[in-house]
Structure 1
Amino acid sequence: MTTTGADRDAVGVGTWWWGRRRSAVLDVGLALVSALECAVEGVGFADKASLPVPVGVLFGLVVGAALLVRRRWPIAVVLVSIAVAPAEMGFLMGIVGLYSLAASEVPRRITAVLAGMSTLAVFVVTVVRMRQDVAQDIDPSGWYVPSVSLFMTLGLNAPPVLFGLYIGARRRLMESLRERADSLEQELSLLADRAEQRAQWARQEERTRIAREMHDVVAHRVSLMVVHAAALQAVALKDPQKAVRNAALVGDMGRQALTELREMLGVLREGAVPVAPAAVPLAAVGRAAAAAAEAAAEDGPCLDALEALCEQSRLAGAAVELVVTGEARPYAPEVERTAYRVVQEALTNVHKHASGAEVVVRLAHREAEVAMQVENGPSDGSAADVGLPSGGNGLVGMRERVVRLGGVFVSGPTDAGGFRVSAVLPTLSVG
């Protein structure tokens, strides 16, 4: 089965082998004209073949109607036109059949053979007809009849073949371009989907990072403020001097928390894009916010501030011991900041869940890594519960920070009834 041009995509669609109604109308119209032509030419064929005229007319109608299947079987149409060429009928069928054959997906070798056969048949018929009709004063055996016959034959057969080849090549080119456009559209759609997925992942990641930074900046100091406020309430009447010191500490920590919060919010505002929200992609805003959050923490605390951090917990009534091993050296800012935040969050959890417990903070400087561990004993039952709320995200945030730098994080209860938080970070040392 062969089809012509874009119609091959429509095979089996619509009525029979026509994909569009206008194609069917065109072929039916051509078949009717061809049938009428062959019917008229069948009268002459019946006279020459000594057949009844109705038989010649009926034969012409059947032969001419073969043009109806030119899109489905162009080879058959050309073969019929070659077969009836000696009967001097099928002029329109021959032209349209050659065009349909050249424009179809039939291999070019077959097209060339059939076009050559059709040309030869038309040439022979033309020569014979001209020898019969040529004027008596022209020598029929000379060059005139063959030359004119060849010229007429090429004039009839060459244009439909060349035009069919052009139309077929043009249709194949258009189909190739259409397929390429469809392929590009699918690729663009896939890229858009992937970009949207990456944007969603980035937004989620940025929200998590911003929440983690905000939690680390505010939660520890606010927790200590609550602890000192509880101590202040307990000793306000018994020891006014200690109550004054606790009140001063609460004020200092509150001011520090507000200062850090203002710095972070200020950087977030500076990193925002000052245009209408509808014109700013959410992913861009999220990236700016996350970058601002990290920028706000760039100048944050480092490992040198661990002693001061432990001292704040001691002032809150916790027994905190800091043990440092190895030779201290500078590390990349993100490593020092992450190590500090791990210890800070672990101490905050001690104040929340193990009031009065003894705490040991260990910091080890190793050749290719820095390790920190915060271990507390069981909670002191005599210590007052300050009722600090817990969001349940402290350990999750610590793990995310450590894993993000390629480190290892482990936490869990100890056999003595306490709790231990351990983290190991690659050094990424500087200088």
Structure 2
Amino acid sequence: MARDVREHLVVAGMWSRRRIVGEAILAPFLALMATLGVLGDGVFAIVAVAVVAVALSLLRRAFPTTVLVLTGAIAAVSGGFWALLMLAGWSAGPRIKAPRRALAAFAISYALYAGLSALQEHSGLTAMQTLVFTTLAFLATTVVPGLAARYRTQRRTLMHALHEHNAQLLREREIIASHTRLRERQRIAQDMHDSLGHQLALIAVHTGALEVDRTLTDGQREAVAVLRQASVAAMHELREAVGILRDGTYAQEHESESAAATRGVPGIDGLVEASRAAGADVKLRQEGETRSLAPAADHAAYRIVQEALTNALKHAQGASITVELRYEPDSLVVEVANGPAPVPADGGSRVVVSGGQGLTGLQERARLVGGMVHAGPVAGGGFRVAGVLPYSGRGGTPDASPTTFVDGGSDFRGQSERASNGDGGEVIDWSGSPDRQKELDRAMGNKKKGVVIGCGIAAAVVVGLVVLAVVAVVALVNESDNAMIEPSVYKSMKVGEAEADVRDKLPDGDSFLTEGLDSDGPAEPKGANCLVLMSTEIPDSLDDEPVFRFCFKDGKLIEKRSYTIKS
């Protein structure tokens, strides 16, 4: 039994800091309310009642049934325990799990409360009045709080279960969508590998054969070498793209450090040399102290230069091109500008096929690393592509400045590292509380329903208290009718009248209001039977209580007296 009590009292999470503070405030308040009913019974009684109230308050959660029953019995004897009885009902309602056990606990508590209240000698109420009064009091102070707390707990449990079920459905839906995306990406990767891979392989083989052809001039052999290198680089990039489409990790797991370096800022030199080999006039300038970038930003810089050079070679053949890398304090500025395209000697026009998606892709790539890209014509003709890439946007080096120019996390497509699950879908955070799923809350309409139910419970409590107050007022009026008379009635009574006639004009005096009035008055005539009543007259002092006494003997009124006692 001791072990069971200890396990109940030291349950994990039961004594949190918040509860300790709450109990430290609540327990003294309940003890104070309980001692109000025994203020005139001595210091020992006050201390004992306070200790009992504090103990029951602290144990109400660990032993809800026991505390409810004991508090119901004590509240019937000491009226100061009504606040603790209300709190015991609130705590017992949700913590007594089995409905039958909860019903039995409240029934036993009610039986003790009503039974012991009826046994109190100072009540002065009839048995039916006592039953009605105690029933209403128990309903208002114990049953209603218990039902409200039980409903609140059950509803929270149900909502938590619904949240968990909803979370599971969302997980399953995301898994199905993820599998669908992966299957489609694998199909696309397979198609790219079978079609483009075969064609690029043929180009690489044929250009390799042409490169060793002795009939070609040196200039032709250099052009063929450029084509072969471009086809080989395209093969590598196609393999990288296929790997990413298949599992999203090919580039990080399979690409060598040297290959990765050629697709970053160090690889820009290779792009410039390849463009020069193709006959373009390209200049490379670099300003500032070289600093490292995050892998994604490093790759973005390479792609910006690559796409800008490709566009310049397609749309402005023969124009001079300038590639500039400027290492600013907070970011790397990549700028590629070309002059106006020379007019062909035949005066004709060149037809260039372009998909129009390259610059859009650059802007998206830069946005995902927290940077930006601007492209447009310049004064005097020509075109310029400029990108600003922070040293540390997302995934940067620890010692880099946390500069971010564009927030990619707010994008609704969920394409940033923070919102991507690796296969293009959005990641749902399941680590938090289910209460964060606001969609289910809105669908359930929990706030409106909670307000309506709460108002209904409050209205029921108010109605119960009003009925209780009305019953108490009616009972008090009845008691006063049985215990009080007007001074004029007292004066109209004559000594020597028949006892039956006098008693017909007076109330019976059977009320708790008249208890103790006969003990403080003058001595009664020997052998007489006296009736003591209160006066409806308001005394000058609140400590004075005017009293009328009628004494009967041998069937006649032998004495009537009016005196004042100290209340």
Give the structure-2-normalised TM-score. Answer: 0.35
Give the structure-1-normalised TM-score. Answer: 0.44
Structure scoring higher RCO (CA < 8 A, sep ≥ 6) equals 1
